[in-house]
Amino acid sequence: KVTVIGSINMDLVTSTNQIPKVGETVLGNSFHSIPGGKGANQAVAAARLGADVTMIAAVGNDSFGKTLVEHLTNEGINTENIIKVKDTSTGIASIIVSEADNSIIVVPGANNHVTPEVIEKHENKIINSDIILLQLEISVESVIKAVELAKKHGVRTILNPAPIQKLPKELLEMVDYLTPNEHEQALLFDSIGGTEEELAKYKEKCIVTKGSKGVMIYKNGEKIEIPSFQVEAVDTTGAGDSFNGALAVALCDGLEIEEACRFANVVGAISVTKLGAQTGMPTKKKLKNFYKY
């Protein structure tokens, strides 16, 4: 059982030749609303691989919220614990894409209502999980509460520290696995500071994703590289989310860490062969052609 505690967003993607300057109105080329949010993406990745996935999250009492919960239910995710918050919008990311640049506004909305109190109310869901999967699109306080409760009940936790921010040492002490990409890892360790020796214990928890180069882990202070699965990349959006969802499933199934990374590398790679974060995420059936269980 995998429990994902995190964000649900609707990504509102506008494509235009020219990003408007302040005060300017321009014509766009196309508009798409696409289910997103790192929490939801990772839950979908795990569910497609056949895992029993529950989401603890929040949406607004609006049409996006309804659509997104329906979408997650259709993906086979248990959505009973997704709360509906009155007078707040569902989380959105307004994304303007031009050939040269992207600009994005994220409005967390209901995601800010996944408070430590909400997490506490779901303690029995945490107890009944094999793995808790978290990101940083809900408040750090809520992440800390979730990890605290998981630790209390001997449930393992994965924290995907994205979007990266400074994290308290107490959180890094408690969490079992950290899954930064290379850029996030550099910022994470810069923000912790301290001696190499002090950092070493946190590094041992890290599974650093390196895009087309695969993954790096630390074992007894030594770096171990686990190469990626070679594919023709079309769109790398959501690669990290696919990787994290798959990693949670692999650890849940009892794979050792290196084998779990190999499995997640294959899932991450397949996900980048299609446009969109969730579109390319493979089902268990599709994966059988690429990875032998």
**Strand positions, DSSP E, the chain:** 2-5, 9-16, 28-36, 53-60, 82-85, 91-97, 102-107, 131-134, 156-159, 177-178, 207-209, 215-219, 222-226
**Cα gap 26→34, rounded to integer Å:** 22
Pick the stretch among 106-114, 129-137, 167-175, 233-241 that binds ligand ADP (CB under 6 A): 233-241
Residue 212 marked as a ligand binder: yes
**Residue nearer to ligand ADP on the CB measure, 142 or 181:** 181
With tokens 């109310």, the residue in question is: 121
**Cα gap 5→105, rounded to integer Å:** 22
* Of residues 190-229, those binding ligand ADP (CB under 6 A): 209-212, 214-215, 228-229
Pick the stretch among 6-14, 16-24, 114-122, 265-273 that binds ligand ADP (CB under 6 A): 265-273
**Cα gap 85→221, rounded to integer Å:** 46
Helix runs in 114-238, H state only: 116-121, 123-127, 140-152, 169-174, 182-192, 196-203
Residue with smallest beta-carbon separation from ligand ADP: 240
**Cα gap 50→68, rounded to integer Å:** 20
Q: Of 101, 130, 176, 241, which is the active-site residue?
A: 241
To ligand ADP, the closest distance from the beta carbon of 37 in angstroms equals 14
Q: Based on the residue annotation, tell me whether 130 is a catalytic residue of this protein.
A: no
To ligand ADP, the closest distance from the beta carbon of 10 in angstroms equals 20
Residue 79 marked as a ligand binder: no
Q: Does 61 bind ligand ADP (CB under 6 A)?
A: no
**Residue nearer to ligand ADP on the CB measure, 189 or 229:** 229
Residue 235 marked as a ligand binder: yes
- The residue from 3, 88, 181, 185 that contacts ligand ADP (CB under 6 A) is 181
To ligand ADP, the closest distance from the beta carbon of 80 in angstroms equals 29
Residue 214 marked as a ligand binder: yes
Closest CA relative to residue 71, chosen from 286, 292, 276? 276
Q: How far is CA 16 from CA 20, 26, 28, 100, 191, in A?
A: 9, 8, 4, 10, 37
Residue 191 marked as a ligand binder: no
Catalytic residues: 241
Residues interacting with ligand ADP, by CB under 6 A?
Answer: 181, 209-212, 214-215, 228-229, 231, 233, 236, 239-240, 243, 265, 268-269, 272
